[in-house]
Chains A and B, each alone.
Chain A
Amino acid sequence: MTAVTSPIEMPVSRRRVWGRLYHGETSIDFMGRKRWGLGVSAALIVITLVSLVAQGLNLGLDFKGGVQWEVPAANISRQQARDILTANGVNAVDAKIVTVSASGVDRLRIQVGEQTQEVSKKVIDALGAAAKVPIAEVSSNSVTSSWGSEITKSAIRALVVFIILVALFIAWRFEWRMALSAIAAMVHDVLISVGVYSVLQLDVTPATVIAFLTILGFSLYDTIVVFDKVDENTARFSGARLPYDDVINVSMNQVLMRSLNTSIAAVLPVLSLLVVGAGLLGAIALREFSLALFVGLITGSYSSIFIASPLLATLKSRSPKYVNLRAPHATGADLERLVLGGSPTAKRESARVRATASSARPEGDTTPSSATVRTPPTADALLSHPPRPRKKTRR
């Protein structure tokens, strides 16, 4: 949001940043900054790819197979656990033994390769006895490696089908360029979220996968709300021969507050899960889940504005209809005029803006390039047809 504070961009502003946001009067030149967004994302993706190649993902038990036991660690040391493993014929050298803290109680988590059920049972009994807890307090989880790879496969298959179906749906409801941009933004989000897990070497569990899937859904949802507005504005400005960049800029300013509000509303519960549930109350399962969600929600909101929309503009500018309209897009006061003019009662708003603009300009300090740049058509002219007479509906 640093864009908002730049004084050059808001010649007609009298409100502070928050006021303008609150009243939907922003005129941020998103398209002029698209290189920033794409650049940051490209850098993050490169980091992700490098990390994936260099150290990969720390896949949990469910994906690679093996046995894991968890036991309260109060009365049992790591060495004791190792001895139990050795006594039952399990190779203790390769065993991964860590202490995890859940709800203020330390638990010993022991991970080894695949074992027979008999061995697993014996180890549970021995661990329970050594830790002086009933057997019911010992958790265990064993997965054969074939099943692990099958889960992975089925998740990937679900993902591919999901992407194809959603792409078809968006292409049918809007157009294929939007489908392509939305999917690209979604892949971007998942890549970056996976990157966080790879860079920090966090365990990838089924819960994490669920979180990644949620990210897909949320990212798409957010993008579609933006695109719906773009779609609406495309129709509105269709007669005005306006560059597509302008249409996108106008749409994004109009839905900016919605995007911010929704993101806040979605992030708050997740943040609460992360801070209160996983942090203060120490539920491990929640942490695995909410961390991925948190990262994903933020990238999801970011990408619908900085990835999906610029991509769409790039694609669309090359389409036959817009290829001849490649003019520098409107910024500053002109953009604000368009943003406000795009709202339903164009006449009244535009009259106001015109008055504002003419009265604001003589003040001198904020004469931007707008005077020299091509003056865009006024909002009246932008409407392809005069407003319909008001319907006399029954009330």
Chain B
Amino acid sequence: MRRKLITSLVSIALLAVGLLSINLALGYRPALGLDLRGGISVTLKPVGTASTASLNLAVERIRERVDSVGVGEPEIVRQQDAIVVNLPGVNDQEKALDLVKVSGKVYLRPVLQCINAPSAATSSSSTVAGSATSTVGSTVAGSTAGGSTVTNSSTSVAASVTGSTVTVGTGSPGPSRVVNGAASTDNGPALSGTATTSAPPTTAPPTTLPASTSDASSTTVASGLSTTVASGSPTTVAGGSSPTAAGATTTVPILVSDPTKTEYLRTRGGEVCQVGRSEGTGEVFEKDSARARILGAGWGVTVNLKTGRAGEGVWNALATQCYNASAACPTRRLAIQLDAEIQSAPSVNAPTFTGSVEITGSFTRKQAENLAQVLNSGALPITLQNVAVEQVSATLGKDSLRAAVISGAIGVALVLLFMMLYYRRLALVVIVGLCISGALVYSVTALISRFYNGVLSLSGVAGLIVSIGVTIDSYVVFFERLKDEVRGGRSLRNSAQRGFKSAFRTILVADAVSLIGAAVLWYLSVGAVRGFAFYLGLSTVMDVFVAYFFTRPAVLLLARSRFMSGKHVLGLDSAGDGAARVAGATS
């Protein structure tokens, strides 16, 4: 018995100290929410209804875009059917709103030509485009079994289709630098410099682009890559590409695409392709029909076509056009575009399709799953609307945090003082217990911020401060019980054991109610209430945990020790025995 108690006591102390020191050593600390450090929060909601899958995809897309500009510790979460994007440290509202502009709409566009960036192609292990083929049924296997590498196939495509682009890629300083610039945009928003160097395109050699002059086309490459071109040569941009692309963003390396015009887009593999007007959308596919699966030698995606003109009709018109390598689709490739980025551009291997389409190539499993997800979201696109935008100034946030911490500390100190006055030496258990709870809650919070992208906001801090009351209560319930038993004439040792048993029952019931409340709030609410509910629930669970593994052994052991001998240590007077008191009174 005694050994068990000591084991429990030692292990929880080790757990608390261990977790805390690991967190401190690795530098994990709770990430602070927007309201504590300033920044912008945008809440998005789909217009109409949207499936969970397409919302999740939208969250992922926003995360990619936010990561690409390097916002520190962003929080992007789906809460029921709303998406909350918290961008701490961001002050530019316009930039923030552009970052979250995703639609989930998929466009199918014929590829006119592609320029492959050598550095980008070698560095990107990602896609796809070149070697991917789409066919009906069994004809796939033979043609794609080899699964050629991205670099080879895509340069060969480029070479075979547009003879002079090879020289563009290697010889000419202008466009190739543009492409290099494109590759570097992946790393951050610092592309404005490269874009302007490439802006004067007059020396670029003519290319065999079908739709535009050399000036216009090479400039639109630049504008496609970085929208800062607008300042350099607005007229050519207006001629070659969509005007919205030039005007919309300033520092964010994100395209705003206009599917009704011929324009340049980047593929996920780092290629830059010129694509024609969108002649179909992802809505030609049946909803939720795209699946990633093993096809032939590698991963691929199958997706079903809707029947009738809106499905097979549109798709086959595009496919035939590309299969025949007509002027509108000289590369035979069909680009699948989502949010101004070409997700995949497979070559079309059959003129007509019935029922389903297979897309194969040297996909990894992840890439195939990603593409399937894109197709599924395109089949049922959502339009997101900004329903709430909040900007918190950094100083205001810092002040709130400081005030919360200071007043929280004073509050805890007052409570401990009260406990010491009331429970005398037993208050020692409360103090150590609070330290252990504190260390555990801190560690869990830090781990959650590290691995699950959660943040501690002002409402969370408030939830924690409130939970001090609840935590203290379990000690009070226990100690009052203990005093009851001692007053009843039992030995301290016996009282501690009996007292804990009945007190723990009460604590369990009361904490269960708190936990139900926290869980309901967490599931059914959005925004700040959620943070509050989470921390209330966390500290409630900790309360039960600490009560059983720390308070119980600590008090039981103390009750046996000489430290607690004599009733005065409980605040019961030494003459607290009934008979003595009555005698004193009647005399």
Chain A residues at the B interface, C-beta cutoff of 8 Å: 14, 22-24, 62, 70, 102-103, 117, 120-121, 124, 134-144, 146-147, 150-151, 154-155, 157-158, 161-162, 165-166, 169-170, 173, 206-207, 209-211, 213-214, 216-218, 220-221, 224-225, 228-229, 232, 254-255, 257-258, 261-262, 264-273, 275-278, 281-286, 289-290, 293, 297, 343-345, 348-349, 351-352, 355-356, 359-360, 394-395
Contacts and interface: CB of A to CB of B under 8 A. Distances in A.
Contacts of B422: 261
Interface stretch (B149-157, B266-274, B314-322, B486-494): B486-494
Nearest to B571: A22
A25 to B, nearest CB: 9
Given A24-B487, A213-B529, A344-B498, A352 B579 contact: yes
30 contacts: A124-B93, A137-B395, A138-B391, A139-B391, A140-B390, A140-B391, A147-B43, A154-B526, A166-B517, A169-B516, A210-B532, A214-B536, A254-B484, A258-B477, A261-B422, A261-B476, A265-B415, A267-B469, A269-B411, A269-B412, A271-B411, A272-B407, A281-B407, A286-B407, A344-B490, A348-B578, A352-B581, A356-B582, A356-B585, A360-B585
Contacts, number: 290
A213 B513 contact: no
A103 B484 contact: no
Interface string B146-171: 00000000000000000000000000
Contacts of B489: 345, 348-349
Interface stretch (B13-21, B137-145, B398-406): B398-406
Given A137-B393, A269-B469, A277 B407 contact: yes
Main secondary structure of the interface of A (DSSP, over half): helix
Given A157-B524, A269-B415, 17 more contacts: A23-B576, A102-B399, A124-B93, A139-B391, A143-B388, A207-B528, A224-B506, A228-B510, A265-B468, A265-B472, A269-B411, A272-B407, A273-B407, A343-B484, A351-B578, A352-B581, A359-B582
B390 A217 contact: no
Interface in B510-524: 510, 512-514, 516-518, 520-521, 524
A151 B527 contact: yes
A206 B109 CA distance: 46
Given A161-B520, A220-B517, A266 B389 contact: no
Contacts of A270: 411, 465-466, 469
A344 B520 contact: no
Contacts of A124: 93, 391
Given A158-B525, A254-B484, A146 B404 contact: no
A251 B12 CA distance: 35
Q: Which 9 interchain pairs have the tightest Cβ spacing?
A: A266-B469, A269-B411, A277-B407, A272-B411, A147-B387, A283-B403, A352-B578, A345-B488, A158-B524
A267 to B, nearest CB: 8
Contact of A265 (B35, B394, B459, B473): B473
A23 B572 CA distance: 7
B465 A273 contact: yes
B418 interface: yes
B91 interface: yes
A166 B411 contact: no
A141 B505 CA distance: 46
Contacts of A360: 585
Contacts of A207: 458-459, 462, 528
Contacts of B484: 24, 254, 343-344
B68 to A, nearest CB: 22
A221 B410 contact: no
Contacts of B435: none
Contacts of B26: none
A366 B359 CA distance: 97
A258 B520 contact: no
B412 to A, nearest CB: 7
B568 to A, nearest CB: 13
